[in-house]
């Protein structure tokens, strides 16, 4: 299959970049279906942990009632905590589960097998 250089546009910065024939061959060999969406500079920023934009949602803490922001969209029925209440809850010891019954102290009764009489 013959490949030629193609000019693509970066989704992040809008700059044009060249998708070389060699890169296209690599994509074809790896069976990648989509063309690259980002130029090399933007790809490098993403790989090295460039600034990630997270949506901040303003809400009220379920525990203390303080106005706060959270990095997610709260769902109904689940409590949303401010940072200080969340940290307080993290330091509390978890409630202990009921101890499992000890096998030696709680024997299982097994009914005796009844004698089966065969018809004569």
Q: pTM for the full model? A: 0.41
The token pair at 53 is 């934009």
Give 39-73 pLDDT, tens digit per residue: 999 888 888 775 666 778 899 999 999 999 888 88
What pLDDT is attached to residue 45?
Answer: 85
Residue 100 has a pLDDT of 56
Give the list of residues 6+ apart from residue 29 with CB closer than 8 angstroms, or none.
Answer: none
Half-sphere exposure of 103 (CA within 13 A, CB side): 0
pLDDT in tens, 23-37: 999 999 999 999 999
């Amino acid at each position: 299959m013959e490949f030629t250089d193609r000019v693509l546009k970066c989704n992040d910065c809008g700059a044009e970049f060249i998708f070389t024939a060699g890169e296209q061959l690599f994509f074809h060999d790896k069976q990648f279906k989509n063309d690259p969406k980002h130029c090399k500079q933007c790809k490098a920023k993403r790989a090295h942990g460039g600034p990630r934009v997270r949506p901040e949602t303003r809400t009220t803490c379920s525990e203390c009632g303080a106005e706060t922001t959270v990095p997610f969209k709260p769902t109904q029925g689940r409590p949303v905590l401010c940072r200080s209440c969340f940290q307080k809850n993290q330091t509390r010891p978890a409630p202990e589960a009921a101890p499992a019954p000890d096998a030696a102290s709680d024997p299982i009764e097994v009914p005796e097998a009844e004698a089966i009489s065969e018809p004569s």
